[in-house]
């Protein structure tokens, strides 16, 4: 079985986007995203593709797979593979990977392909357990931004809600996105060059932490 991951960046209030863009500048997060996803297929919706700066399309060193209702079958365009559905994207990712990647360090599972946005693609991928060749999303890599009181960032796109396991390693009740445990988390850091943008365009300090979660 191939292993599927999802990666995103969010504020502590769960905001991941505003008006089709991300309300922040985060160089440390961009470097982390590249390190995590390099060499693996990345799956995204059309709006996420269009939000990438033209000079970064396609994302280098990765098979770029774009989901769009404007196509009825797979076609190559602008350096990416365009497909009509998430299922088609996953078959394409499998073909790009070949054999599944072997897990390496202890407690760190290798990921064969990554979902990188946007909101509707995350929602479908995380809620399903019948994803072709992958089954379900097993790993989440997310960057958290801490917003100081009075400098909260607003947005119109939210990150998927993940239910975290209790101290006994289980979740009470059921969640559409499954039960998760944090396997690694970096200390909070203050970005030297990054900032959060409020609706007025004011730049606010950025504090960030990298977090990895695995499905239970």
Confidence (pLDDT) at 43: 99
CA dist., res. 156 & res. 112, Å (int) = 30
CB 92 within 8 A of CB 111: no
Domain span holding position 105 = 4-215
> Read out DSSP for 142-208?
EEEEEPPTT-PPP-SEEPPP-EEP-TTS--SS--TT-EEEEEEEPPPEE-SS-EEE-TT--EE--EE
CA dist., res. 98 & res. 119, Å (int) = 28
CATH code, domain carrying 153 = 3.40.430.10
Confidence (pLDDT) at 109: 63
Confidence (pLDDT) at 107: 41
State pTM to two decimals: 0.92
Count: domains in the chain? 1
CA dist., res. 83 & res. 176, Å (int) = 26
Confidence (pLDDT) at 105: 46
Confidence (pLDDT) at 148: 77
CA dist., res. 89 & res. 63, Å (int) = 11
User: Digits of tens for pLDDT over the chain (216 positions)?
Assistant: 899 999 999 999 999 999 888 999 999 999 999 999 999 999 999 999 999 999 999 999 999 999 999 999 999 999 999 999 999 999 999 999 987 766 554 445 689 999 999 999 999 999 999 999 999 999 999 999 998 776 778 898 899 999 999 988 899 888 899 999 999 999 999 999 999 999 888 999 999 999 999 999
């Amino acid at each position: 079985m191939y292993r599927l991951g999802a990666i995103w960046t969010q504020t502590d209030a769960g905001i991941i986007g505003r008006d089709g863009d991300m309300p922040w500048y985060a160089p440390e997060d961009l470097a982390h995203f590249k390190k995590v996803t390099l060499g693996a297929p990345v799956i995204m919706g059309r709006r996420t593709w269009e939000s990438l700066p033209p000079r970064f399309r396609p994302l280098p060193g990765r098979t770029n797979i774009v989901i769009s209702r404007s196509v009825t079958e797979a076609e190559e365009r602008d350096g990416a593979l365009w497909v009509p559905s998430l299922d088609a994207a996953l078959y394409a990712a499998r073909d790009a990977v070949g054999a599944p990647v072997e897990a390496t360090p202890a407690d760190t599972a290798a990921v064969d392909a990554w979902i990188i946005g946007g909101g509707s693609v995350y929602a479908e991928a995380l809620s399903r357990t019948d994803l072709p060749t992958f089954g379900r999303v097993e790993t989440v890599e997310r960057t958290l931004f801490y917003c100081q009181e009075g400098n909260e960032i607003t947005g119109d796109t939210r990150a998927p809600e993940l239910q975290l396991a209790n101290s006994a390693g289980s979740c009470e009740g059921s969640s559409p996105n499954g039960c998760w445990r944090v396997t690694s988390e970096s200390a909070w850091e203050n970005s030297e060059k990054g900032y959060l943008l409020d609706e007025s365009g004011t730049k606010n300090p950025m504090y960030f932490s990298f977090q990895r979660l695995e499905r239970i």
